[in-house]
């Protein structure tokens, strides 16, 4: 069912709750594979909730209905020289999905990209939501101002909740000026350990690095700076000297490099499982080594200075075991493994308790988060 | 301020509860004499006071856990306390409660520059987190005005902000993980030295929950490399409206200063008397600070000055040295002290959409005349977080009540124009009874459900945040 008003969503969910009908919540349907298998009797599509209801460039604020295509929002922002700060990834290439990514889907899955290392995740820019809980009640939290500590922050709780606490109907963001220009320092020939040291050197220098990635197979390390023309020129040249002891660094200006990292393009054509692992950056190479030692077809791409590992592996490899005491988590993004698991028993119990409160009959994306 | 009636059953068992707490804590960590618990009767919202039944000062997560377990078993309300600097009454006790102060837990547990984090015990003060890393040119970004005294525990509880959060975000954007003790004594680790979480964002809802979900004993915080330099420019305008328009234009132009501070005439005058910062005669003063290398700063300030000149400033003063920068900031930093010297004041904290600034300031001016109380405005203009200071005389009967009424009207206005009741101070008891102007009963019910999960007996700081009438049924369980 495609619904085009919040009231319609509330009625539909309320009926489903009364009838014990389990719903699959869907925006553009491009990221469905990110969740665990989900029990459902019907699909609730938010694609009809399509409207930018407020955009105030001088207040750095945009508010949109959850089914609004991400591309529409990005276009509207760009016309005023602004952008979403967190550089959301497009999953279509990696997951082989089709459809139109919606802003609600981005929020429900808390989707970010390379800029997350500096500008924060989707949840950090999200400042308000409206939602329909599992009983059909319409709930708002946060608002349209970027500083707001009035009551509990359910905004954060909704980001990345995969629709299990409620159906998002409206989302509000703090946006940022789009940079005048960007440039990338490219270092070639580094090992994983050296690359992580190089990225760390970049991120701990005072030059506002907004992206730090390493493509292991190509031994290519990328460190990005964005801003005003003169400033970027200065900063990349400073970074070049910082990195000089670690390897020869050249300056390139190719945004497609970052789209490739953001969307994990090197893995698109591979017929493998893909995992997303978040760990402290200096543990990144250790995890990758363990994976590579267990199978020689494993490929690794690092983002977030080494803290985010994209691993292409044979489908039967248990990647979670490779963490082996290292703090962090691994999510299966593509493949047959269970996609996501709670980090520990106490957290699992709290999550279960919250879901039982917001969706007492378990009708919203049941089972999708494990 | 209405508070729940004390639980007589608890008060009657004071001796027994005290003995149990003394069994698990060192002698000097349990405070129960009437004269001594008085030290904990209020926080920085001094208008309201109530001595607690008992105060405890544990030194470890284990001790916090033992205390909470006992209180949970004995149905004793617990009010967590960091440094007691809350302006919203977040640490105001009830007479039947145990104050749980984390001030003795102030150690740095781990510092990692390569991975850009620090792990501290939650009683550590905000400024001393930066103090622990600044020898290596790092800093912890959130900088509430009380940063010399306020504890990370309170920062996490209130999701504290500061002058520089336009660029660096507030506490929640700089918090990577916590060790939290649940009301039943269970210790849970959430997040850590890595980014984001795979399940529900529990860290996100714990931050800003005003000590109602658990007691945070350790925090992993993001630290950042200091910029090469920073420099402010000071501008004076002949009306609040023009200053507000200038703020909008700066933001729209794609320059993102690290801070934009706004002071109106009453504030500037008080500051001049007190701090002699050399501020100009103007209706409104802006301080705009940018960061980077010298050349980058020049470049950004050039852009900002160009915008400002279009608004015909009565003064435009760029700092030429560290001394001049310090002088520009001196007045702003002394603002609260300066106001305190001439009057009692109530500091509001409502946030509004930046483009509503001129309208809201105008309306506040009208209200000031209506109530016959003076207002000075000083605030973070870049993010719309206002701090109107309403002046009153605490010794004059009825003045506090009048001031509160005025304050409530200002906050209702903030909500009316699309903003919120509190941008960085928290709800506490101060704004508890205004919550329904911003949220419906259903919205509040959703928030209270979260507390039901973390603290089913509603023992932790339970008389705060939600109007008592809304939370009554839960607290009586």
B399: CATH:
3.30.70.2740
Distances (CA, A) of B331 to A174, B186, B337: 30, 47, 10
Task: Quote the pLDDT of residue B343.
Answer: 83
Q: Do A329 and B197 touch (CB under 8 A)?
A: yes
Task: Report the distance separating Cα A332 and Cα A275, nearest Å.
Answer: 4
A235 is written with which tokens?
């900063």
B354 touches chain A (CB under 8 A): yes
Question: Which residues in chain B have their CB less than 8 angstroms from residue A308's CB?
Answer: 195
Residue B443 lies in a domain: no
B142 touches chain A (CB under 8 A): no
B424 occurs within a structural domain: no
Q: Does A57 contact B at CB distance below 8 Å?
A: yes
How many angstroms separate the CA of residue A260 from the nearest CA in chain B? 21
Q: Are B195 and B209 in contact (CB under 8 A)?
A: no
Task: Judge contact between A216 and A301, C-beta under 8 A.
Answer: yes
What mean pLDDT do residues A196-225 have? 97
Looking at the domain assignment, is residue B210 inside a domain? yes
For residue A352, the chain B residue with the least C-alpha distance is B453
DSSP assignments along B106-155, one per residue: --EEEEETTTTEEEEETTSBHHHHHHHHGGGTEE-----TTTTT-BHHHH
Q: In what order do the strands lie in the sheet with B230-237?
A: B315-318, B230-237, B284-291, B259-264, B375-380, B388-392, B344-347
> Residues 256 to 285 of B: which have CB under 8 A from any A CB?
256
User: Smallest CA–CA separation between A166 and chain B, in Å?
Assistant: 11
Residue B153 lies in a domain: yes
Q: Say yes or no: B182 and B87 in one domain.
A: no
d(CA B300, CA B288): 11
Same-domain check for residues B326 and B406? no
Domain residues for B281?
230-334
Which tokens sit at A258?
């970052």
> Is B124 within 8 Å of B135 (Cβ atoms)?
no
In a domain, B471, yes or no: no
Q: Are A152 and B225 a contacting pair at CB < 8 A?
A: no
A231 touches chain B (CB under 8 A): yes
Residues A98 and B241: their CA atoms lie apart, in Å, by 49
Report the domain count for chain B.
4
Q: Which is it for the CA torsion B251, B257, B261, B262, positive or negative? A: negative
Report how far apart, in Å, the C-alpha atoms of A41 and of each of A25, B211, B243 are.
11, 40, 57
Give the CATH number of the domain where residue B245 resides.
3.30.70.3450
Encode pLDDT of A105-144 as tens digits. 999 999 999 999 999 999 999 999 999 999 999 999 999 9
Residue B271 near residue B331, CB atoms below 8 Å:
yes
Distance between the two ends of chain B, CA-based, in angstroms?
23
A136 close to B (CB below 8 A): no
Q: What pairing do the DSSP bridges indicate for beta strands A82-83 and B224-225?
A: unpaired
Is the Cβ pair B295, A230 closer than 8 Å?
A: yes
Angle between helix axes B240-252 and B294-310 (nearest 10 degrees) is 130
Sign of the CA dihedral A29, A81, A157, A287?
A: positive
Phi, psi angles (nearest 5°) of residue A53 = -85, -20
Same domain, B202 and B301: no
User: What does the alpha-carbon distance between residue B199 and residue B197 come to, in Å, rounded to a whole number?
Assistant: 6
d(CA B377, CA B472): 36
Q: Which of B103, B134, B153 is the last residue of a domain?
A: B103
Return d(Cα B106, Cα B217) in angstroms, integer.
10
Rounded-to-integer distance, Cα A136 and Cα A207, Å: 48
| Whether residues B312 and B369 fall in one domain | no
CB atoms under 10 Å from CB of A341, counted, come to 18
Beta bridge partners of B219: B120, B178
Q: Is residue B433 part of a domain?
A: no
CA atoms within 13 A on the CB side of A206: 15
Same domain, yes or no, for B237 and B322? Answer: yes
Give the mean pLDDT of A137-160: 97
Question: Is the interface score ipTM higher than 0.85?
Answer: yes
Does A195 contact B at CB distance below 8 Å? no
pLDDT of residue B476: 67
Which among B190, B225, B260 is the end of a domain?
B225
Query: Cβ separation of B207 and A178 shorter than 8 Å?
Result: no
Query: How many CB atoms lie under 10 A from the CB of residue A249?
Result: 21
Q: Does A257 touch chain B (CB under 8 A)?
A: no
Same domain, yes or no, for B283 and B378? Answer: no
Tens of pLDDT along chain B (477 residues) come to 889 999 999 999 999 999 999 999 999 999 999 999 999 999 999 989 999 999 999 999 999 999 999 999 999 999 999 999 999 999 999 999 999 999 999 999 999 999 999 999 999 999 999 999 999 999 999 999 889 999 999 999 999 998 888 899 999 999 999 999 999 999 999 999 999 989 999 999 999 999 999 999 999 999 999 999 999 999 999 998 899 889 989 988 888 899 999 999 989 988 888 888 889 999 999 999 999 999 999 999 999 999 999 999 999 999 989 899 998 988 888 888 888 887 889 999 999 998 898 899 999 999 999 999 999 998 888 889 999 999 999 899 999 999 999 999 999 999 999 999 999 999 999 999 999 999 999 999 999 999 999 999 999 999 999 999 999 999 865
Distance from the Cα of A127 to chain B's closest Cα (Å) equals 11
Q: What is the CATH number of the domain that holds B122?
A: 3.30.465.10
Contact A35, A339 (CB under 8 A): yes
A34 chain-B contacts, CB cut-off 8 A: none
**B125: closest CA of chain A, how far (Å):** 20
CATH number of the domain where residue B50 is located = 3.30.43.10
Residues of chain A neighbouring B115 (CB-CB closer than 8 A): 200, 280-282, 307
Minimal C-alpha gap between B16 and chain A (Å)? 31
* Whole-number pLDDT of residue B164: 86
End-of-domain residue from the set B87, B103, B119: B103
With an 8 Å Cβ cutoff, is A270 touching chain B?
no
Q: Quick check: is B245 in a domain?
A: yes
Q: Do B420 and A150 touch (CB under 8 A)?
A: yes
Collect all residues of chain A within an 8 Å Cβ-Cβ radius of residue B432: none
Rounded distance between C-alpha atoms, residue A199 and residue B227, angstroms:
18
Q: Are residues B123 and B49 in the same domain?
A: no
Size of interface A-B (CB pairs under 8 A): 259
Nearest to B347 by CA among B379, B295, B390: B390
**Residues of chain A contacting B112 with CB distance shorter than 8 Å:** 280, 282
Query: What are the chain B neighbours of A233 within 8 Å (beta carbons)?
Result: none
Tokens of A183: 């440039």
* Domains in chain A with CATH codes: 6-177 (3.30.465.10), 181-262 (3.30.70.100), 265-334 (3.30.70.100)
Which residues contact residue B276 at a Cβ distance below 8 angstroms, ignoring those fewer than 6 apart? Answer: none
- CA distance linking residue B238 with residue B215, whole number of Å: 48
* Element of type H or E holding A76: helix A70-79
Q: Within 13 Å of residue B223, how many CA atoms lie on the same side as its CB?
A: 30
User: CB contact, 8 Å: A55 with chain B?
Assistant: no
Distance in Å, alpha carbon of A130 to nearest chain B alpha carbon: 10
Cβ contact B194–A280 (<8 Å):
yes
Residue whose C-alpha is closest to residue A308's, from A106, A118, A113: A113
- Do B362 and B329 sit in the same domain of this protein? no
Residue B437 lies in a domain: no
* Residue B238 shares a structural domain with residue B221: no
* Among the partner residues A57, A154, A347, nearest to B190 by beta-carbon distance: A347
In this predicted model, what pLDDT tens digit does every residue of A289-321 receive, in sequence order?
Answer: 999 999 999 999 999 999 999 999 999 999 999
Q: Are residues A145 and B161, on separate chains, in Cβ contact within 8 Å?
A: no
Q: Do B34 and B79 have their domain in common?
A: yes
Contact A358 B256 (CB under 8 A): no
Q: B187 and B112, same structural domain?
A: yes
* DSSP 8-state symbol, A111: -
Could B189 and A344 be called an inter-chain contact, meaning their C-beta atoms sit closer than 8 Å? yes
Q: Exposed, middle or buried: residue A75 (CB in 10 Å: 0-12, 13-18, 19+)? A: exposed
Under DSSP, is residue A220 helix (H, G, I), strand (E, B) or coil?
strand
Please indicate if any CB of chain B lies within 8 Å of the CB of A194. Answer: no
- Does B315 lie in the same domain as B369? no
> What are residue B439's phi and psi, to 5 degrees?
-125, 150
Whether A308 contacts B195, CB under 8 Å: yes
Residue B454 to residue A350, Cβ atoms within 8 A: yes
Say whether pLDDT at A331 is over 90: yes
């Amino acid at each position: 069912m495609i619904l085009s008003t919040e009231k319609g969503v509330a009625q539909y969910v309320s009926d489903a709750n009364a009838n014990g009908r389990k719903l699959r919540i869907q925006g553009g349907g491009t990221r469905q594979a990110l969740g665990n298998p989900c029990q459902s009797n019907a699909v609730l599509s938010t694609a009809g909730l399509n409207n930018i209801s407020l955009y105030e460039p001088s207040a750095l604020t945009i508010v949109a209905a959850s089914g609004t295509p991400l591309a529409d929002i990005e276009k509207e922002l760009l016309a005023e020289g602004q952008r979403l700060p967190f550089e959301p990834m497009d999953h279509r290439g990696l997951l082989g999905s089709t459809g139109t990514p919606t802003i609600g889907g981005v929020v429900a899955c808390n989707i970010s990209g390379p800029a997350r290392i500096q500008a924060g995740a989707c949840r950090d820019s999200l400042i308000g939501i409206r939602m329909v809980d599992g009983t059909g009640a319409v709930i708002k939290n946060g608002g349209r101002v970027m500083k707001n500590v009035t009551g509990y922050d359910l905004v954060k709780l909704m980001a990345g909740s995969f629709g299990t606490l409620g159906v998002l109907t409206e989302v509000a963001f703090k946006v940022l000026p789009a940079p005048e220009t960007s440039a990338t320092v490219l270092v070639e020939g580094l090992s994983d350990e050296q690359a992580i040291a190089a990225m760390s050197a970049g991120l701990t220098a005072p030059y506002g690095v907004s992206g730090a990635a390493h493509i292991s197979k190509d031994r290519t390390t990328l460190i990005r700076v964005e801003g005003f023309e003169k400033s970027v020129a200065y900063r990349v040249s400073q970074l070049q000297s910082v990195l000089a002891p670690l390897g020869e660094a050249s300056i390139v200006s190719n945004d497609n490099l970052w789209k490739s990292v953001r969307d994990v393009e090197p893995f698109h054509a591979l017929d493998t499982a893909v995992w997303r692992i978040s760990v402290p950056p200096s543990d990144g190479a250790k995890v990758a080594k363990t994976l590579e030692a267990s199978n020689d077809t494993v490929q690794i791409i690092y983002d977030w200075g080494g803290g985010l590992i994209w691993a292409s592996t044979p489908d039967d490899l248990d990647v979670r075991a490779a963490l082996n005491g290292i703090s962090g988590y691994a999510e299966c993004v593509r493949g047959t493994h269970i996609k996501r698991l709670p980090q520990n028993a106490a957290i699992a119990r709290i999550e279960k308790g919250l879901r039982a409160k917001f969706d007492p009959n378990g009708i919203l994306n049941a089972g999708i988060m494990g | 301020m209405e508070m729940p009636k004390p639980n007589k059953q608890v008060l009657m068992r004071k001796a027994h509860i005290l003995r149990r707490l003394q069994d698990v804590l060192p002698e000097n960590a349990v405070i129960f004499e009437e004269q001594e618990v008085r030290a904990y009767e209020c926080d920085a919202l001094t208008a309201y006071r109530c001595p607690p039944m008992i105060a405890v000062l544990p030194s470890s997560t284990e001790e916090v856990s033992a205390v909470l377990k006992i209180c949970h078993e004995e149905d004793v309300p617990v009010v967590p306390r960091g440094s007691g600097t809350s302006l919203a009454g977040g640490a105001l006790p009830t007479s039947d409660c145990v104050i749980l102060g984390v001030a003795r837990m102030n150690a740095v547990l781990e510092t990692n520059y390569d991975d850009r984090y620090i792990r501290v015990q939650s009683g550590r003060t905000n400024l001393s987190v930066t103090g622990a890393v600044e020898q290596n040119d790092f800093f912890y970004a959130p900088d509430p005005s009380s940063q010399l005294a306020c504890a990370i525990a309170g920062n996490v509880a209130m999701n504290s902000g500061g002058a520089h959060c336009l660029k660096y975000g507030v506490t929640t954007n700089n918090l990577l993980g916590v060790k939290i003790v649940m009301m039943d004594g269970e210790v849970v680790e959430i997040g850590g030295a890595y980014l984001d979480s795979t399940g529900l964002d529990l860290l996100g809802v714990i931050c800003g929950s005003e000590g109602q979900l658990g007691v945070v004993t350790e925090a992993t915080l993001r630290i950042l490399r200091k910029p090469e330099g920073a420099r402010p420019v000071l501008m004076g305008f002949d009306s609040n409206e023009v200053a507000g328009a200038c703020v909008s234009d700066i933001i729209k132009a794609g320059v993102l200063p690290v801070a934009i501070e706004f002071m109106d005439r009453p504030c500037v005058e008080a500051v001049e008397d007190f701090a002699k910062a050399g501020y100009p005669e103007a209706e409104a003063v802006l301080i705009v600070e940018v960061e980077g290398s010298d050349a980058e700063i020049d470049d950004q300030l050039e852009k900002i000055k160009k915008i400002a000149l279009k608004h015909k400033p009565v003064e435009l003063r760029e700092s030429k040295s560290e001394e001049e920068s310090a002088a520009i900031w001196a007045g702003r930093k002394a603002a609260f002290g300066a106001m305190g010297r001439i009057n009692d004041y109530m500091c509001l904290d409502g946030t509004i959409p930046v483009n509503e600034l001129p309208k809201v300031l105008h309306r506040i001016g009208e209200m000031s005349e209506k109530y016959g109380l003076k207002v000075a405005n000083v605030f973070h203009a870049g993010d719309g977080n206002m701090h109107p200071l309403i002046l009153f005389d605490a010794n004059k009967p009825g003045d506090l009540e009048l001031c509160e009424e005025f304050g409530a009207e200002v906050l209702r206005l903030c909500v009316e124009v699309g903003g919120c009741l509190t941008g960085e101070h928290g709800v506490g008891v101060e704004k508890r009874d205004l919550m329904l102007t911003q949220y419906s009963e259903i919205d509040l019910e959703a928030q209270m459900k979260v507390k039901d999960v973390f603290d089913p007996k509603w023992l932790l700081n339970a008389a705060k945040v939600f109007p008592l009438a809304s939370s009554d049924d839960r607290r009586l369980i």
